[in-house]
Amino acid sequence: MITQRSPLAAYDPTAFWDEMFSAPGVVRPHYAALARRLETLSAQEVTRRQRAADLSFQARGITFAVNQDPSGLEKIMPFDLVPRIILPEEWERIERGLEQRVRALNLFLHDIYHEQKILGSGLIPPELVLGARGYRREVRSVEPPLGVYTHVVGSDLVRDHRGEFYVLEDNLRVPSGVSYVVENRRVLKRVWPQIFTDYPIRPVEGYPQDLLSVLREVAPPIADTATVVLLTPGVHNSAFFEHAFLAKAMGIEMVQGSDLFVDDATVYMRTTSGRQRVDVIYRRVDDDFIDPLAFRRDSFLGVPGLLATYRMGRVSLANALGTGVADDKAIYAYVPTIIKFYLGEDEIIPNVKTYVAADPSERTYILEHIAELVVKSVNASGGYGMLIGPHASKADREEYRRRIEADPRGYIAQPTLALSRHPSWSDGSLEGRHVDLRPYVLFGKEIRVTPGGLTRVALRAGSLVVNSSQGGGAKDTWVLG
């Protein structure tokens, strides 16, 4: 079915799981219609559409500031035209798996800030939980509305060489990237509308409305008509575009810390007609920075007195304070245990095998096998603070050995995964590039998983790091209906 001259003829799916090909020249059935489109596409046409997409991102200012780049340059996230397609049955399992996971993690968070039953069970070392950097004693015994801590979750999924999905990490604090899910779809529709006629694709545009419903659902009971705002750190933040995008789509105010103040146990915003009460804050500011009276004193991004108001239940925060403990990479290793403990179920989507350096025998294993493992700092994200053993220099491996011995609680290790690959455009030809998948889960009265997600792609040949800060790009992600 693939002709010699087609751009697909030379494509080599290699030994990795390829999302589109089951063998060289053999396209998986649900990609067949897309393959036909790709075959008729000339290199010039790819370039033209690619340029149109890039221009559209640039014009709309869908950009991110690269961390620690002093020039504050705005870059667009590279966008790959070839969409990723997920079958309904694959998606159904992902949806059930994420719902199970999020439900269990919220029960876990409630427990460790209240009765602490799991800490008495002997299933998870208490010092691992209570000593986690993300554990906030300040919110002990605070009862968040509906018992929900993580209103927005973005968990990273990967597939191994057999096509099995795994959860690589959970993002339970302030996960970003969902604006790209919506914008990638919009841009692809604009620059390559033809391919949309071949597939029944589930829409992703409803996300902001779903998020708004969740935020209204978790308003404090004292508020009859809730005022919801989005708290952004400001234009210097790498996700500023997303904050503006969501605030606009939800029709709510986007505020900065200096726009808010606390008076008489109430949060107000400064408006042109005077003060106005705020009931729900969708905050895109980390715990550490949210209240200089309670956490980092040097933070200008937060609101003095916010924690006290929150503790009194007079303002809701999404996500709640103190969720970072549950996406600590050492706690991650215990998520299957957590699911079993609270729900009495086995996990639907498995974890990646994880060695926790805090455990003496596992630490020994890590130190002996560091050349085969990926070592991660438990609190870092964005592709920072990690060592990919097989690709690392001897000096780097020694450096990480030293660090692990100095601070075992700070590190975990996982086997190097053979992440699945997906055909992506590279200099006029299709080449396999590693991908992951970040679906977004909303939790208010019920749990909703947006049908789609952010497929991040490591555009450098051979690279396993998909983070946008490390040269990663993105694809539109289709869940078929």
Partner 1 sequence: MLCRVADDLYWTARYVERGIAVSRLIDVTRHLELDVGTEVSDFWGPLVGAIGLSAEDVSFFLLSDEKNPDSLISSVRHARELARGIRESISSEMWEELNTLYQSLALPGAQRRAQGDSLSFQRLVRERLQHFQGLAGSTLAHDEPWHFLSLGTYLERADGVVRLLSRQAHLLAPREEAETTDADMVRWLAVLRSCGSAEAYARFYSLRVEPIRIVEFLLLNPVFPQSVRFALGAADDALSAVAALRTAAANEPGPGIRTLGRVRGEVEHAAIDEVFEAGLEEFLLGVQRSIAQVSDEVTATYLRDEPQPSRLVGVARAAMLMAAQQQQ
75 binds partner 1 (CB under 8 A): no
Residue bearing tokens 């304070």: 321
Return d(Cα 408, Cα 388) in angstroms, integer.
18
Phi, psi of 241 (to 5 degrees): -55, -45
270 binds partner 1 (CB under 8 A): yes
Return d(Cα 317, Cα 302) in angstroms, integer.
13
The least distance separating partner 1 from the CB of residue 364, rounded to whole angstroms, comes to: 30
The least distance separating partner 1 from the CB of residue 434, rounded to whole angstroms, comes to: 17
Phi, psi of 214 (to 5 degrees): -60, -45
The one segment of 115-123, 139-147, 332-340, 464-472 that binds partner 1 by CB under 8 A = 464-472
225 binds partner 1 (CB under 8 A): no
Binder to partner 1 among 235, 265, 371, 461 (CB under 8 A)?
235
Binding map of partner 1 across residues 26-65, x = CB under 8 A, - = no contact: --------------------------------xxxx--xx
193 binds partner 1 (CB under 8 A): no
Beta bridge partners of 166: 158
The least distance separating partner 1 from the CB of residue 76, rounded to whole angstroms, comes to: 11
Q: Which is nearer to partner 1, 6 or 176 (CB)?
A: 176
Binder to partner 1 among 67, 121, 209, 364 (CB under 8 A)?
67
Size of the site for partner 1 (CB under 8 A): 56
Which amino acid type is present at position 218? V
Q: Which is nearer to partner 1, 434 or 456 (CB)?
A: 456
Residue bearing tokens 């040949």: 461
Measuring CA to CA, which residue among 356, 326, 375, 320 is closest to residue 151? Answer: 320
Phi, psi of 357 (to 5 degrees): -65, -20
Q: Which is nearer to partner 1, 40 or 258 (CB)?
A: 258
Q: Which of residues 299-338 bind partner 1 (CB under 8 A)?
A: 299-301
Q: Which is nearer to partner 1, 7 or 322 (CB)?
A: 322
285 binds partner 1 (CB under 8 A): yes
Q: Which is nearer to partner 1, 186 or 216 (CB)?
A: 186
Residues 6 or more apart in contact with residue 434 via CB below 8 angstroms: 16, 419, 420, 421, 457, 458, 463, 464, 466
Binder to partner 1 among 25, 382, 415, 471 (CB under 8 A)?
382
Binder to partner 1 among 272, 344, 393, 394 (CB under 8 A)?
272
68 binds partner 1 (CB under 8 A): yes
Q: Are 464 and 419 in contact (CB under 8 A)?
A: yes
Beta strands in 97-240 (DSSP E): 152-154, 156-159, 165-169, 228-231
Beta strands 355-356 and 411-415, pairing class: antiparallel
Return d(Cα 273, Cα 252) in angstroms, integer.
17
The least distance separating partner 1 from the CB of residue 22, rounded to whole angstroms, comes to: 32
288 binds partner 1 (CB under 8 A): yes
297 binds partner 1 (CB under 8 A): no
The least distance separating partner 1 from the CB of residue 212, rounded to whole angstroms, comes to: 14
Residues 6 or more apart in contact with residue 469 via CB below 8 angstroms: 66, 67, 238, 382, 383, 384
H-helix or E-strand spanning residue 229: strand 228-231
10 binds partner 1 (CB under 8 A): no
Angle at 416 between CA 379 and CA 24, to 5 degrees: 135
Other CB atoms within a 10 A radius of the CB of residue 382 amount to 14
- Residues of this chain that interact with partner 1 (CB under 8 A) are 58-61, 64-65, 67-68, 154, 171, 173-177, 233-239, 243-245, 247-248, 253-259, 269-274, 285-286, 288-289, 298-301, 379-382, 384, 467-469
